[in-house]
């Protein structure tokens, strides 16, 4: 049906027009087409101080899923300041992606401050592991190796609690595999910046810009 119709605007056809040789990559950076630099994704811990109001977790998790950010874990818990909670997210993203997560989270009204926790942050996770109870002595020995605690020991199952950073937890889980892991529950990584560095930018530890609870000297 086309062809016969009078449609069309005068002018040189697309391939007759000059086209610059430059290109941009998927992140919108101008690139040298010969040596295209690509961003690798990396793990980052994002910490946000938020107002503890109904739906705040839904707002954050909805944002993450809507914008297709890759997250490994998300934890949330109260702070010592009434009405404030801390959300800790572990993400696997490129640098521009991490930047976007921070900026988009900062736009949420209940988010007070947000940022990436610097690389040498203190991170930890808690894991509950339930294994077969056939070899209690061996289970206790492995648990001790990883500074774990036995929380429940019965004739059929033993439940162990482990804490630590990700690599320690991964190693421990590998070691417990030999007993047959029946169930596992992990909290996901939570994190604080070391020393005097605020965990989320602009955050004054213990105050967060609000009247604080008394600190113990």
Partner 1 sequence: MSDSAAHPREDDPDAEPVSDPAEADAPEPAGDQNRSTDGSIDEVSTGAESVVAALEAAGAETAFGVQGGAIMPVYDALYSSSVRHIMMAHEQGAAHAADAYGVVAGEPGLCMATSGPGATNLVTGIADADMDSDSMLALTGQVPTEFVGNDAFQETDTIGVTRPITKHNYFAGNADDVGDIVGEAFALSAAGRPGPTLVDLPKDVTLDDTDRTPGPAEAPAGSEPDPTAREDAVDAAARAIEDADRPLCLFGGGVIKGEASETAREFARTYGIPVTTTMPGIGSFPEDDDLSLSWAGMHGTGYANMAITHTDCLIAVGTRFDDRLTGGIDTFAPEAEVVHVDIDPAEISKNVHADYPLIGDAATVLDQLSAAIREAPDADEWRERCDEWKDTYPMTYSTPDDEPLKPQFVVEAFDEATDDDTIVTTGVGQHQMWASQFWTYTEPRTWVSSHGLGTMGYGLPAAVGARVAADTIGDIDRDVVCFDGDGSFLMTMQELSVAVRENLDITVAVLNNEYIGMVRQWQDAFFEGRHMASDYNWMPEFDKLAEAFGALGIRVDGYDEVAPAVEEALAYDGPAVVDFHVDPEENVLPMVPSGGANGRFALSEDQL
Interface contacts to partner 1, rule CB under 8 A: 1-3, 5-15, 17-30, 54-55, 58-59, 62-63, 66, 96, 99-100, 103-104, 106-109
**C-beta closer to partner 1: residue 5 or 154:** 5
**C-beta closer to partner 1: residue 7 or 34:** 7
Q: State whether the Cα torsion 118-119-121-123 is positive or negative.
A: positive
**C-beta closer to partner 1: residue 84 or 130:** 84
Nearest to 98 by CA among 85, 117, 84, 112: 117
Q: State whether the Cα torsion 180-155-187-214 is positive or negative.
A: negative
In contact, 97 and 41? CB cutoff 8 Å: yes
3-state class (DSSP) for residue 94: coil
For residue 33, the minimal CB distance to partner 1 (Å) is 9
**C-beta closer to partner 1: residue 18 or 214:** 18
For residue 117, the minimal CB distance to partner 1 (Å) is 20
**C-beta closer to partner 1: residue 97 or 133:** 97
For residue 123, the minimal CB distance to partner 1 (Å) is 26
For residue 47, the minimal CB distance to partner 1 (Å) is 18
Inter-CA distances, 212 with 45, 57, 215, Å: 25, 23, 8
In contact, 73 and 4? CB cutoff 8 Å: no
């Amino acid at each position: 049906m086309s062809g016969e119709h009078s449609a069309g605007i005068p002018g040189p056809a697309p391939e007759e027009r000059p086209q610059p040789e430059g290109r941009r990559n998927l992140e919108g950076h101008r690139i040298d087409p010969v040596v295209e630099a690509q961003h690798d994704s990396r793990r980052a811990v994002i910490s946000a101080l938020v107002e503890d109001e109904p739906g705040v977790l839904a707002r954050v998790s909805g944002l993450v899923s809507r914008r297709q950010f890759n997250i490994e874990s998300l934890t949330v818990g109260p702070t010592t300041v009434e009405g404030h909670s801390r959300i800790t997210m572990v993400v696997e993203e490129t640098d521009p992606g991490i930047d976007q997560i921070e900026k988009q989270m900062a736009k949420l009204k209940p988010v007070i401050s947000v940022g990436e926790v610097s690389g040498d942050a203190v991170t930890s996770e808690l894991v509950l592991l339930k294994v077969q109870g056939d070899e209690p002595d061996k289970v206790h020995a492995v648990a001790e190796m990883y500074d774990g605690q036995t929380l429940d020991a019965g004739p059929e199952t033993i439940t162990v609690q482990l804490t630590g950073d990700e690599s320690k937890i991964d190693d421990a889980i590998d070691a417990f595999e030999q007993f047959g892991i029946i169930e596992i529950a992990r909290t996901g990584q939570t994190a604080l910046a070391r020393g005097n560095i605020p965990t989320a930018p602009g955050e004054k530890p213990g105050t967060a810009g609000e009247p604080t609870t008394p600190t113990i000297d």
